[in-house]
Amino acid sequence: MNVKIIESSGRDLLDLAQKLGLRAKMDQKDVIEAVSEILDNVKNTGDEALCFYTGKFDKVSMTPDKIRVTEEEIDCAMETLDAALLDILHKAKANILEFHMAQVTPEILIDKGNGASIAMLVRPLQTVGVYVPGGTAPLPSSVLMNILPAKAAGVPRIVMCTPPRSDGSVDPMILAAARIAGASEIYRVGGAQAVAAMAYGTATVPAVDKICGPGNIYVNTAKRLVFGKVDIDMFAGPSEILILADQTANPSYLATDFLSQAEHDKLASAILITDDMTLARQVALQIANRAGQMPRKEILAASLADFCAIVVVPDFDVAIEFANILAPEHLELCIANPESVIPRIFNAGAIFVGNYSPEPLGDYFAGPSHVLPTSGTARFFSPLNTSDFQKKTSVIRYTKDALKECYCDVAAFAKAELLDCHAQSMLVRFDEDILSKGTNFE
């Protein structure tokens, strides 16, 4: 199971960046049609549709009274989990909450004189929905990384949806992480139907203000289609990592970091860029030796063949330029002086600095949310953070004396835009003729 080595002067890296960016932009016509039908059915029939689709897709017979997970089920999950694992979840929670509490935005008040002021109020969203996929493995990390930024922002009600297992239960690790993170309520419903339930509300599942969390192409398409009815976190695509490495890096470290992203799914991308051909060959050999021994080797084989590469460049100026063009979800700097490179990086979801800051550290434990922009969207999107769960309200407070200083300027501005009523709104407060007669003005 090999990974290709490419020698490049830089020009052909643009083609590589474009190819990787297209992973999230494939023809989705059939998916959109299927998801639209699900959204409409849930919107129109609510719990009935949720039960129908749970039977159809999850093969679990469901009635409305079973949609919500009970507190007793969560208690049982907490009791069945290994104490050491619970301790790790609590430690991760502390790191994540500390990082996001530090981001809480203060309100702003500016004194303009004469009793006037302008302000910015900061308020948490009132209800947030978190989607946690089921799939082949439980993802308690996604529970923590989505719920805790909302908790830090002060969101009072956090709703979580996750698909049931084949026996109708929810994975104990998912439930334990939700309890530890502070989910208000949990519903055993997955897929596009869960997104629809949180967007529109049903008799059982409440409508929310924002939906966040990962999912398959149907979940992500559903989030795109309900955007506007509710807010969403971001338009997520397949996972990716870009590693910049020089001769000081350890080939074993690089290979395992490389494979840690390639194993996500068949569309996952891992790219290593180095100026050292010897290192490139060493890493390629390590990847080949390790990949075939991994449990997810079929996924690795597909991603390694289609979306992974080791690129040898003449110097790191080329590597840094490519990093900013690619705008990777994860960027590792495994070089002798990584701090010197950071100021030159403008586009990346998360930067991992040095040989002892591997990407999985960010996935589970360090503190910043692992919900990151993908497919080049780090050019304009940010990682999920506390401000994503806050909204801001402007407050304008002027006295008569303060308004008197500027009302003519505002009126003139309005007249320039041919909005006479705007101008009169200013002038009527100081012009007795307009106040008493409602006359036009020049």
Q: What pLDDT digit, counting tens, does each position of 45-77 carry?
A: 999 999 999 999 999 999 999 999 999 999 999
For domain 46-233, say whether CATH 3.40.50.1980 is its number.
yes
Give the pLDDT score at 292. Answer: 86
Catalytic pick among 330, 332, 359, 370:
330
Q: What does the pLDDT read at residue 26? A: 58
> Which entry of 240, 263, 329, 332 is annotated as an active-site residue?
329
Q: Is 330 designated active site?
A: yes
24 — pLDDT class (breaks 50, 70, 90): low
Asked whether the predicted pLDDT for residue 401 surpasses 90, the reply is: yes
What's the pLDDT at 79?
A: 95
Indicate whether 438 pLDDT > 70.
no
Q: Tell me what the pLDDT averaged over the chain comes to.
A: 92
Residue 31 pLDDT > 70, yes or no?
A: yes
Annotation marks residue 100 as catalytic: no
Helix 407-416 to helix 420-427 angle (10° resolution) is: 170
What CATH number labels 5-26+237-383?
3.40.50.1980
Domains of the chain by residue range? 5-26+237-383, 46-233, 406-437
pTM to 2 decimal places: 0.91
Above 90 in pLDDT, residue 97? yes
Beta bridge partners of 174: none
* 399 in Cβ contact with 115 (< 8 Å): yes
One fold for 5-26+237-383 and 46-233? yes
Across the range 295-318, mean pLDDT stands at 89
Q: Residue 181: is its pLDDT beyond 70?
A: yes
